[in-house]
């Protein structure tokens, strides 16, 4: 899988080694385990999917681009859409502290089970509507949103530290990754990157 990511154009060694360090097959149903190392989104129940490795690698490489490795290893980051917990495990290998929010109770609990054997001391899972973020823990040095809203969630923009990056798919049928950089208390720079295909970012909990 790492060779495929390199071919795809991911050159960030920290991202490659974080992804290579997590067994993706242990986050999906046994019947799908043989496909866990293909670059595909796979079903994880509740009509949700584990994201494609190339997409996760692209998003992580984009948010960490300006970070020196010592800064990265101390960074406090937020993931919206825990799903099965795979990306949270990858992020735990890159960052100091990882918070991940999921709105579907069954997935939140399943992610907890999937992550337990990895004994990652720096990951905190929360159940709730991630569009609200985690104001009690903010500001974050990076935010990664794994589901597509029609716009960038306002509350999350305000939970970015100055200089932090946020990456999120935006759109409905047609989506594109948006990379946001908070340049001051009142300014955010948004760059639209490549097209994407994510499950929708929904309101409330289930």
Give whichever of 128 and 163 is closer to ligand SAH, judged by the CB atom: 128
The number of residues that bind ligand SAH (CB under 6 A) is 24
Query: 88 vs 164, which CB is nearer to ligand SAH?
Result: 88
Instruction: State which residue, 67 or 196, has the beta carbon closest to ligand SAH.
Output: 196
Measured between alpha carbons, how far is 45 from 49 in angstroms, rounded to an integer? 7
Rounded CA Rg of the chain: 16
Q: Residue 27: which of 64, 56, 62, 59 has the closest Cα?
A: 56
- Determine if the peptide bond prior to 103 is cis (ω within 30°): no
Active site includes 100? Answer: no
Of 51, 69, 100, 184, the active-site residue reads 51
196 touches ligand SAH by CB under 6 A: no
Whose structure tokens read 């509740």?
Answer: 46
**Does residue 149 contact residue 203 with C-beta atoms inside 8 Å?**
no
CA distances from residue 63 to 19, 31, 37, 109, 167 in whole angstroms, order as listed: 15, 33, 23, 27, 7
- Which C-beta is closer to ligand SAH: that of 40 or that of 71? 40
The contact mask relative to ligand SAH for 7-46 (x = CB under 6 A, - = no) is -------------------------------------x--
Interacting residues toward ligand SAH by CB under 6 A: 44, 48-51, 80-81, 83-84, 86-87, 101-104, 107, 129-131, 146-147, 199, 201-202
Q: Which residues are designated catalytic?
A: 51
């Amino acid at each position: 899988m790492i060779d495929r990511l390199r071919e795809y154009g991911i050159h960030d060694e920290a991202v490659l080694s974080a992804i290579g360090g997590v067994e993706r097959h242990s986050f999906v149903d046994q019947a799908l385990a043989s496909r866990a190392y293909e670059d595909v989104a796979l079903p994880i129940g509740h009509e949700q999917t584990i994201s494609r490795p190339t997409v996760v690698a692209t998003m992580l490489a984009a948010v960490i681009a300006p970070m020196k490795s010592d800064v990265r290893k101390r960074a406090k980051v937020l993931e919206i859409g825990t799903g099965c917990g795979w990306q949270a495990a990858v992020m735990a290998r890159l960052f100091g502290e990882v918070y991940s929010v999921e709105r579907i109770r069954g997935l939140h609990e399943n992610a907890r089970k999937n992550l337990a054997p990895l004994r990652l001391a720096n990951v905190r899972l929360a159940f709730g509507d991630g569009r609200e973020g985690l104001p009690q823990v903010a500001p974050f040095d990076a935010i990664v949103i794994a589901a597509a809203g029609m716009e960038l969630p306002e509350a999350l923009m305000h939970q970015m530290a100055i200089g932090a990056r946020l990456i999120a798919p935006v759109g409905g049928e047609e989506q594109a990754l948006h990379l946001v950089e908070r340049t001051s208390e009142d300014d955010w720079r948004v760059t639209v990157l490549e097209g994407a295909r994510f499950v929708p970012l929904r309101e409330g909990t289930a």
